[in-house]
A and B are shown apart, each in its own frame.
Chain A
Amino acid sequence: MISVRDLSKVYKVKKKGEVVALQGVSFECRPGEVFGLLGPNGAGKTTCLRIISTALKPTNGSGEVMGHDILTDPAGVRTSIGFLAANSGLYARLTPKEVLRYFGTLFGMEKAKLNARIDELAETFEMTEFLNRPCDKLSTGMKQKVNIARTVLHSPPVIIFDEPTSGLDVLTSRTIIQFVKKCREEQKTVILSTHIMAEVEKLCDRVAIIHKGQLFFNGTVPEIREKHGDDLEEAFIQMVKEVA
């Protein structure tokens, strides 16, 4: 369960003064639901997700993740989410197994449980073959699989994916999409930021569209179709234009 109310974020940039990255954004997403966050580059999606993950503090507004307040209880928030940042990297000289063990230990997982969980995820993401290879020897797809395994390692009830399939081939994307579906079946709360309309159609129960820091649509995919026609991409462009 995630709920945010009236989130704003203002960055102070040298020489340019203040830049408003997010303005009065409110939404909710519930367990068993995949919530899509849509918007062009620079719309404020990543800022919004970073505020939810407690990496950034909002200038205004409030939020809760599984009952933990993002301002007063950031530690509680962090243990209940799995966060996959856009372009998230890996430790080049460590193997996927070592990376997973490192984060598992930091999340306080017991050794036996951790090992069992790593084996389970290795099977889910077909990683067994490269589990002991240094990360800098892995392909982009392999790396992303390791990153996603790392995100869900501690079985968090809330999962935040920031553009999880960007730059990946169809096969790897499909594995990831299937995994997101599985998360929904397991009654997890999933936020997915993307600008790939096909993924939105396949996965998202509800969609929020952000542009220039403001949320101007929050509803289901059928609702978009009702208003703007069958072609989702066309509808998206139209909506962005309307705001601009």
Chain B
Amino acid sequence: MTGNTWTIFKKELLDTLRDRKTLMFMLLIPTLVTPALMIGGSRLVENIMKKKAVERITIVADEQSHARYRGVVHRWFKEANQDFIFRAALNIGLNQLAQQDEEIPAPSPEIYTDPVVFEEWLNEVGDYMTEALSGEDLRERLSEIELPEGSPENSSGMSLGDYGDTMQLFVDFYTVGLRGLAFVDFETPDSIDAPSADFVSDGIPEEMISQPNGLNIAAAIKSKKIQGYLIFEEDPTESLTNESRTMPVTLWHDSTLSSSKEAETRVSRVLDRTGKLVVISRLKKRDLSPDFLEPMDLKGNTNLASPSQEILAAVGGFLPYLVIVYAFLGALYPAIDLGAGEKERNTLETLLLAPQTRTEVALGKFFVILLASLVAAILGVASIAISFYYIIPASVMAQANIQLDPMTVIAVTLLALPPAAAISGIFLAISIFARSFKEAQNYIAPMQFLIILPPLAAMLPGIEMNWKLAMVPLVNVSLLAKEFLKGDINWGYYVVTFASTILLAAVCIGYSVWQFRREEVLFRT
């Protein structure tokens, strides 16, 4: 840098740092707003999911269908009790899960024989557990449950986590028993009122609304008063013994309404889990092992990628994209301010009449834009990396063992340099060409697509780095990152990527200098 370039650089940097708008875009958005949105967004989704899982829904069913549905859930329970660890650990497990002062009332022996008593007991358990249950860490909490003392399986202090199949039964107790039955209110079809006058029945199948009270039920689902209408045409106790046919079950619902969709999810889980257990017991009866249904299995744990490599491959693909987006945002305002802004404030003529060369002016400005772009890219990537620490569960993070060491920082900086330089050069040229701040913004807005789309395309699978693509600015950064993550670092590509970017930046700076000499550009208003 010559003395004059340095003088211009210092002044433009000071000017840029005093501009609150620029600082907002350069620092605040990448470092605070994006992580806040990411963390807040993921928490919000998590909370909605949790609430949805324990939400009480209302299903319409006549008494017979209700009883038959209850019979299916009870059938699941009876099958699950074939597992004697499940049987032994049930109460202890429920009490440990509920974590309340009062113990969940011990069930009467009738729950194993009488489905009505079973449903009453489930409702009681549900009342104790609504607060305690949350879908995400259920497995984790279950795995810590200590098995009852004295049982043969607990001779060496085993916990539920050591028995995968039993733990799955506990998870199913939650999805089938609690979500499928205890958190559901049943109403009879004739208790549903006539629809309001403005209900439109268009699009609802004729055979549904022509049923007795069918129109009322459809209207009640559409208006979110109830979530579904359940019909069991056959008695499951009989149907499930008949091994040669599938028992039909009907559920009216509206998949566009989230609670009604939830009703469909719950009923289909109940049928699915119970069906699986019924199949296993059918196999046992014929002295067949469950393996009868699974002739082949692809064994896990032969994956050569470590957990940290898997995370890098999943998250790392977005790295160049993020770098480019933040480099773009960081360069945007300084570039417009330093070029078009100087024209708008009527300071350019005075500056160009000072003795320094126009190349020195263009370079001084370019380096400030480049710095802003780089800082924004690095801060943006860093803050997203930090937000991932909060979003990805701690257990996964611990496995992955990702550390932010100086080498990673240097690698990201090196990765950010080419796109930042290319973007800074392009923006400076546009900004100097533009008459005013507004005009510069108008020119740069469509550039977003030109700058952000090609690197995105390069992220598609199948597109690999080669010498030709290494010469295409921005696209080469994407491909270079791809190579980087695969662990093949071809320094030749790195050099070509840098060289092509420096060339582009140089052309842009040259263009800017030429603009500075053009009378019609300098003095047009």
Chain A interface residues (CB < 8 Å from chain B): 11-12, 50, 53-57, 75, 78-79, 81, 83, 85, 87-94, 98, 102-103, 105-108, 134, 150
CB of B352 closer than 8 Å to a CB of A: yes
Q: How far is the CA of A81 from the CA of B11 in the complex (A)?
A: 23
Do residues A105 and B355 form an inter-chain contact, with CB atoms below 8 A? no
Q: Which residue in B4, B15, B346, B520 is a CB contact (below 8 Å) of A93?
A: B15
Q: Across chains A and B, which 3 residue pairs bring their CB atoms closest together, nearest first?
A: A89-B346, A93-B18, A89-B345
B17-33 at interface with A (beta carbon < 8 Å): 18-19
Q: How far is the CA of A103 from the CA of B8 in the complex (A)?
A: 10
Q: Chain B's nearest CB lies how many Å from the CB of A99? A: 9
Q: How far is the CA of A102 from the CA of B8 in the complex (A)?
A: 8
CB of B136 closer than 8 Å to a CB of A: no
CB of B450 closer than 8 Å to a CB of A: no
Do residues A78 and B346 form an inter-chain contact, with CB atoms below 8 A? no
Chain B interface residues (CB < 8 Å from chain A): 4, 7-8, 11, 14-15, 18-19, 345-347, 349-350, 352-356, 519-520, 522-523
Please give, as numbers and ranges, the residues of chain B lying within 8 Å of A102 by CB-CB distance: 7, 11
Q: Chain A's nearest CB lies how many Å from the CB of B260? A: 57
Q: How far is the CA of A50 from the CA of B349 in the complex (A)?
A: 9
Please give, as numbers and ranges, the residues of chain B lying within 8 Å of A150 by CB-CB distance: 350
Q: Chain B's nearest CB lies how many Å from the CB of A102? A: 5
Q: Which residue in A11, A55, A92, A105 is a CB contact (below 8 Å) of B7?
A: A105
Tell me whether chain A's interface is mostly helix, strand or loop, or mixed: loop
Given contact pairs A56-B519, A57-B519, A150-B350, A91 touches B345 in the complex (Cβ within 8 A): yes
Q: Chain A's nearest CB lies how many Å from the CB of B346? A: 4
Please give, as numbers and ranges, the residues of chain B lying within 8 Å of A88 by CB-CB distance: 346-347, 349-350
Which of chain B's residues has its CB closest to A56's CB? Answer: B519
Please give, as numbers and ranges, the residues of chain A lying within 8 Å of B355 by CB-CB distance: 75, 78-79, 106-108
Do residues B11 and A83 form an inter-chain contact, with CB atoms below 8 A? no
Please give, as numbers and ranges, the residues of chain A lying within 8 Å of B352 by CB-CB distance: 55
Do residues A93 and B11 form an inter-chain contact, with CB atoms below 8 A? no
A-B contact pairs, 23 of them (CB 8 A): A11-B520, A50-B349, A50-B523, A54-B353, A55-B349, A55-B353, A55-B523, A78-B354, A78-B355, A79-B355, A81-B353, A85-B349, A91-B347, A93-B19, A94-B11, A94-B14, A94-B15, A103-B354, A106-B7, A106-B8, A108-B355, A134-B18, A150-B350
Tell me whether chain B's interface is mostly helix, strand or loop, or mixed: helix
Q: Which residue in B18, B346, B354 is a CB contact (below 8 Å) of A106?
A: B354
Given contact pairs A87-B346, A91-B347, A53 touches B353 in the complex (Cβ within 8 A): yes
Q: A85-B349, A102-B7, A107-B355 are in contact. List 8 more A-B contacts (CB 8 A).
A: A11-B520, A54-B353, A55-B519, A78-B354, A89-B346, A91-B15, A94-B11, A98-B14
Please give, as numbers and ranges, the residues of chain B lying within 8 Å of A91 by CB-CB distance: 11, 15, 345, 347
Please give, as numbers and ranges, the residues of chain B lying within 8 Å of A83 by CB-CB distance: 350, 353
Q: How far is the CA of A150 from the CA of B14 in the complex (A)?
A: 19
Which of chain B's residues has its CB closest to A53's CB? Answer: B353
Q: Which of A11, A78, A98, A102 has the most CB of B within 10 A?
A: A102
Please give, as numbers and ranges, the residues of chain B lying within 8 Å of A12 by CB-CB distance: 520
Please give, as numbers and ranges, the residues of chain B lying within 8 Å of A89 by CB-CB distance: 345-347
Please give, as numbers and ranges, the residues of chain B lying within 8 Å of A98 by CB-CB distance: 11, 14
Q: How far is the CA of A98 from the CA of B10 in the complex (A)?
A: 11
Given contact pairs A94-B14, A102-B7, A85 touches B346 in the complex (Cβ within 8 A): yes
Q: Chain B's nearest CB lies how many Å from the CB of A36? A: 22
Q: Chain A's nearest CB lies how many Å from the CB of B203? A: 59
Q: Chain A's nearest CB lies how many Å from the CB of B6? A: 9
Q: How far is the CA of A93 from the CA of B18 in the complex (A)?
A: 6
Which of chain A's residues has its CB closest to B350's CB? Answer: A88
Q: How far is the CA of A97 from the CA of B415 in the complex (A)?
A: 39
Q: Chain B's nearest CB lies how many Å from the CB of A150? A: 7
Q: How far is the CA of A89 from the CA of B7 in the complex (A)?
A: 19
Q: Chain A's nearest CB lies how many Å from the CB of B310? A: 48
Q: How far is the CA of A55 from the CA of B351 in the complex (A)?
A: 11
Q: Chain B's nearest CB lies how many Å from the CB of A40? A: 20
Q: Chain A's nearest CB lies how many Å from the CB of B285? A: 85
Q: Chain B's nearest CB lies how many Å from the CB of A152? A: 13
Which of chain B's residues has its CB closest to A102's CB? Answer: B11
Do residues A78 and B345 form an inter-chain contact, with CB atoms below 8 A? no
Do residues A55 and B522 form an inter-chain contact, with CB atoms below 8 A? yes
Please give, as numbers and ranges, the residues of chain A lying within 8 Å of B11 by CB-CB distance: 91, 94, 98, 102
Please give, as numbers and ranges, the residues of chain A lying within 8 Å of B8 by CB-CB distance: 106
Q: Chain B's nearest CB lies how many Å from the CB of A218? A: 26
Which of chain A's residues has its CB closest to B517's CB? Answer: A57
Q: Which residue in B18, B350, B520 is a CB contact (below 8 Å) of A85?
A: B350
Q: Which of B8, B354, B519, B522 has the most CB of A within 10 A?
A: B354
Please give, as numbers and ranges, the residues of chain B lying within 8 Å of A79 by CB-CB distance: 355
Q: How far is the CA of A91 from the CA of B342 in the complex (A)?
A: 8
Do residues A92 and B345 form an inter-chain contact, with CB atoms below 8 A? yes
Q: Chain B's nearest CB lies how many Å from the CB of A227? A: 35
Q: How far is the CA of A126 from the CA of B18 in the complex (A)?
A: 26
Q: How far is the CA of A56 from the CA of B7 in the complex (A)?
A: 25
Q: Which of A85, A87, A89 has the most CB of B within 10 A?
A: A89
Do residues B347 and A106 form an inter-chain contact, with CB atoms below 8 A? no
Q: How far is the CA of A53 from the CA of B11 in the complex (A)?
A: 24
Please give, as numbers and ranges, the residues of chain B lying within 8 Å of A106 by CB-CB distance: 4, 7-8, 354-356
Which of chain A's residues has its CB closest to B8's CB? Answer: A106
Please give, as numbers and ranges, the residues of chain A lying within 8 Å of B519 by CB-CB distance: 55-57
Please give, as numbers and ranges, the residues of chain A lying within 8 Å of B349 by CB-CB distance: 50, 55, 85, 88
Q: Chain B's nearest CB lies how many Å from the CB of A90? A: 7
Please give, as numbers and ranges, the residues of chain A lying within 8 Å of B354 by CB-CB distance: 78, 103, 106-107
Q: Chain B's nearest CB lies how many Å from the CB of A108? A: 7
Please give, as numbers and ranges, the residues of chain B lying within 8 Å of A103 by CB-CB distance: 350, 354
Q: How far is the CA of A50 from the CA of B11 in the complex (A)?
A: 26
Which of chain B's residues has its CB closest to A82's CB? Answer: B353
Do residues A90 and B14 form an inter-chain contact, with CB atoms below 8 A? no
Please give, as numbers and ranges, the residues of chain B lying within 8 Å of A92 by CB-CB distance: 345
